[in-house]
Structure 1
Amino acid sequence: MNEKLFNLNQGEEGLDDLFRNAADAEQPAAPAHAWLKMNLLLDEEEQKRRRGFAWWWLPLLLFMAGHRHFVPQPGPLEVEKTKSFSRQLLPHESSGKESSPKEAAHTAATGTQQSADQKRDASFIQLEKQHLNATPSRKFVSEISTPEVSVKKELNQPILEMSPESALTKEESMTLVVSNELEDKALYPALPKKQQLSIPVSVSNTDPAIPGQTIVSTPKKQPVTYRFYVYGGGGLDRGFVSGNHESELKPAYGAGLGLELNKRWAMQVGFTQTRKLYEAPGNAYTPKAGSYYDNPNFVIQEVYADCAILEIPISVRYNFLPNQQHQVFGMLSMQNAIMQRESYDYYYTRFGQPAKGYYTYRTKALELFSGIGLSVGYEYRISDRLHVQAAPYFNIPTKGIGEGSVKLRSAGLFAGLRYSFWKKK
Structure 2
Amino acid sequence: MPAEASAPEHGLVPTAADNSALLLKEVSLALPTGSALPAPLATVATTVTPPRPEAPVTAHQPRFYVGLVGAPDVTTVKFAGVESPLPNLGVVLEYRLSSRLRLSTGLLRSTKQYSARREDCDFGDYAVYMKHRYFDDVDGTCTVLDVPLNLRYDLLSRPGYALYGSTGLSSFFMQRETYSYAYVEYNKPGYWEGEAVNANRHLLSILNLSVGYERTLSPRWSLHAEPYVKVPLAGVGVYKLKLTSAGVFVGVKYGF
The answer to whether the 8 Å contact 2:74/2:83 transfers is: yes
Superposed CA offset, 1:5-53 (max 9, x none): xxxxxxxxxxxxxxxxxxxxxxxxxxxxxxxxxxxxxxxxxxxxxxxxx
| Residue 102 (structure 2) pairs with residue 255 (structure 1) | no
* Aligned residue type for 1:265: L
1:244 deviates by 4.2
- Between the aligned partners of 1:293 and 1:417, the Cα distance in structure 2 is 51
Superposed CA offset, 1:229-262 (max 9, x none): 1121212101111234241101111112121110
Which protein is richer in helix relative to its size?
Answer: 1
- Between the aligned partners of 2:246 and 2:177, the Cα distance in structure 1 is 20
Structure 1 segment 253-332 matched on structure 2, within 5 A:
253-289=89-125, 291=126, 294-322=129-157, 324-332=159-167
The answer to whether the 8 Å contact 1:232/1:416 transfers is: yes
Per the alignment, residue 232 of structure 2 pairs with 397
- Between the aligned partners of 1:311 and 1:396, the Cα distance in structure 2 is 13
RMSD of equivalent CA atoms = 2.2
- 1:402 counterpart SS class: coil
| Residue 185 (structure 2) pairs with residue 339 (structure 1) | no
1:273 deviates by 0.8
- Between the aligned partners of 2:244 and 2:160, the Cα distance in structure 1 is 34
1:377 deviates by 0.4
- Between the aligned partners of 2:82 and 2:211, the Cα distance in structure 1 is 26
* Aligned residue type for 1:287: F
Superposed CA offset, 1:136-189 (max 9, x none): xxxxxxxxxxxxxxxxxxxxxxxxxxxxxxxxxxxxxxxxxxxxxxxxxxxxxx
Per the alignment, residue 58 of structure 2 pairs with 222
The answer to whether the 8 Å contact 1:340/1:363 transfers is: yes
1:353 deviates by 4.0
- Between the aligned partners of 2:163 and 2:250, the Cα distance in structure 1 is 14
User: How many residues are treated as equivalent by the alignment?
Assistant: 208
- 2:98 counterpart SS class: coil
| Residue 215 (structure 2) pairs with residue 416 (structure 1) | no
1:322 deviates by 3.3
The answer to whether the 8 Å contact 1:239/1:276 transfers is: yes
* Aligned residue type for 1:297: H
Unpaired runs of 5+ residues, structure 2, are: 1-49
- Between the aligned partners of 1:265 and 1:217, the Cα distance in structure 2 is 30
* Aligned residue type for 1:272: L
Structure 1 segment 82-161 matched on structure 2, within 5 A:
none
Per the alignment, residue 203 of structure 2 pairs with 368
- Between the aligned partners of 1:332 and 1:353, the Cα distance in structure 2 is 49
Give the TM-score of the pair, scaled to structure 1.
0.46
- 1:226 counterpart SS class: coil
The 3 A distance-change label for structure 1 pair 246 and 379 is closer
Residue in structure 1 matching 2:214, options 350, 360, 379: 379
- 1:313 counterpart SS class: strand
1:360 deviates by 1.5
- Between the aligned partners of 2:187 and 2:206, the Cα distance in structure 1 is 36
Give the TM-score of the pair, scaled to structure 2.
0.74
- Between the aligned partners of 2:181 and 2:62, the Cα distance in structure 1 is 52
- Between the aligned partners of 1:354 and 1:265, the Cα distance in structure 2 is 57
The 3 A distance-change label for structure 1 pair 405 and 218 is same
> Looking at CA atoms only, which structure, 1 or 2, has the larger radius of gyration?
1
* Aligned residue type for 1:258: E
Residue in structure 2 matching 1:231, options 37, 51, 67: 67
- Between the aligned partners of 2:196 and 2:246, the Cα distance in structure 1 is 24
Percent of paired sites with the same residue: 28
The answer to whether the 8 Å contact 1:300/1:347 transfers is: yes
- Between the aligned partners of 1:259 and 1:371, the Cα distance in structure 2 is 22
- Greater RCO between the two (CA within 8 Å, min separation 6)? 2
- 1:363 counterpart SS class: strand
| Residue 190 (structure 2) pairs with residue 355 (structure 1) | yes
1:217 deviates by 5.5
Per the alignment, residue 130 of structure 1 pairs with none
- Between the aligned partners of 2:189 and 2:98, the Cα distance in structure 1 is 61
